[in-house]
Amino acid sequence: MDSSDLRVFEAVARLGGMSRAAAELNTVQSNVTARIRLLEAEIGTALFRRHSRGVEPTEAGNRLLPYAVGIARLLAEAKRAARDDGRPEGRLVVGALETTAAIRLSPVLATYAARHPAVDLVLRTGTTAELIAEVLAHRLEGAFVCGPVDHPDLLAEPVFHEELVLLTAPAAEPGALLAAGDVRIVVLRAGCSYRQRLEEVLARRGLVGLRRLEFGTIEAIVGCVAAGLGVTLLPRAIVDVAQQGGRVAVHRLPEAEGRVATVFIRRRDAATSSALRAFLDVARPVVPLEQAAE
């Protein structure tokens, strides 16, 4: 068994067919079929079961698949590490919360692009849960998420502090809303850390089983709150413009509930590329923690 055999096996398992794997690997189907048969003979068990739509891994194949994926990833990482001479260059893919991207990362990205033009930087947004999963799966080199994050495979470094505030329609009184017990929350999809924090804040006040309105953007959430459809919880910095325009009312929370850290996470076992190291050097001092907390 060698890495090329496992590469063929992984392609067949992922694509669900010998011909599809052959097309991706730029070879003929008979070569893929022969390699799989030799691998099965070497291991001593069938790795795929055939059906009308192609193939699917057997139980043995499913047990082998994570090793095949891991070995391919390690080989690619080894090649990148060997080529990395300390000059930031190549592709760097990082993630961020939509709110963090909007209110904190513009100066980071501008400074980084100016200093390191040889790096092709890609920024992907998502919820905290989605971004953690992407980093764990090695699809992102790192991500800005809502802390704290306690995972044995991740390193988490605080970068920013945010103040979370409760948003209501301009004429709404939080006390009256809570007393009425008929509160709707306007939130992003499941996995959003601010959504989870809002549910915890309201649960401490005896409000559970809440009705939810889910939207895909911060702009839509603020618009719905302004229209009196519910309440939400967001970083104060992102709602300042809406507050100044009189669209929403902003209500502060006790510090223990309203203060939250944004942390940068990355895999503990992954090599830190020169591009990522340079990115962190830019990100750390742009907004000092004590300044962001003011």
Which amino acid would we find at residue 220? Answer: A
**pLDDT value, residue 179:** 67
Q: What percent of the chain has pLDDT over 70?
A: 93
Confidence grade of residue 285 (pLDDT, cut at 50, 70, 90): low
Do 142 and 282 fall into the same domain?
yes
Confidence grade of residue 181 (pLDDT, cut at 50, 70, 90): low
Tokens of 82: 């060997």
Q: What percent of the chain has pLDDT over 90?
A: 47
pLDDT in tens, 123-168: 999 999 999 999 999 999 999 999 999 999 999 999 988 899 998 8
Query: Is the pLDDT higher at 240 or at 203?
Result: 203
Q: What is the mean pLDDT of residues 32-51?
A: 92
Does residue 269 contact residue 135 with C-beta atoms inside 8 Å?
A: no
**pLDDT value, residue 86:** 82
Total residue count of the chain as it appears in this document: 294
Do 172 and 206 fall into the same domain?
yes
Do 74 and 153 fall into the same domain?
no
Q: What is the mean pLDDT of residues 268-292?
A: 76
- Report whether pLDDT(44) > 50: yes
Report the Cα–Cα distance between both ends of the chain, in Å, rounded. 58
Do 209 and 175 fall into the same domain?
yes
**pLDDT value, residue 290:** 39
Q: What is the mean pLDDT of residues 201-206?
A: 87
Average pLDDT over all residues of the chain: 87
**pLDDT value, residue 230:** 87
Residue recorded with tokens 């989870």: 196
Within 10 Å of residue 200's Cβ, how many Cβ atoms?
11
Range with lowest mean pLDDT among 101-105, 239-243, 280-284: 239-243
**pLDDT value, residue 270:** 86
Angle (CA) 181-184-188 rounded to 5° is 145
User: How many whole angstroms separate alpha carbon 168 and alpha carbon 111?
Assistant: 36
Do 150 and 26 fall into the same domain?
no
Which CATH number fits the domain that encloses residue 124?
3.40.190.10
Do 107 and 177 fall into the same domain?
no
Range with lowest mean pLDDT among 126-135, 141-150, 220-229, 258-267: 220-229
Do 274 and 238 fall into the same domain?
no
**pLDDT value, residue 291:** 39
Range of the domain at 206: 163-258
* Number of structural domains found in the chain: 3
Q: What share of the chain is helix, strand, coil (3-state, %, to 5)?
A: 50, 25, 30
What global pTM score does this model have?
A: 0.75
Do 274 and 142 fall into the same domain?
yes
pLDDT in tens, 230-243: 899 999 888 776 56
Do 281 and 249 fall into the same domain?
no
pLDDT in tens, 5-39: 899 999 999 999 999 999 999 999 999 999 999 99
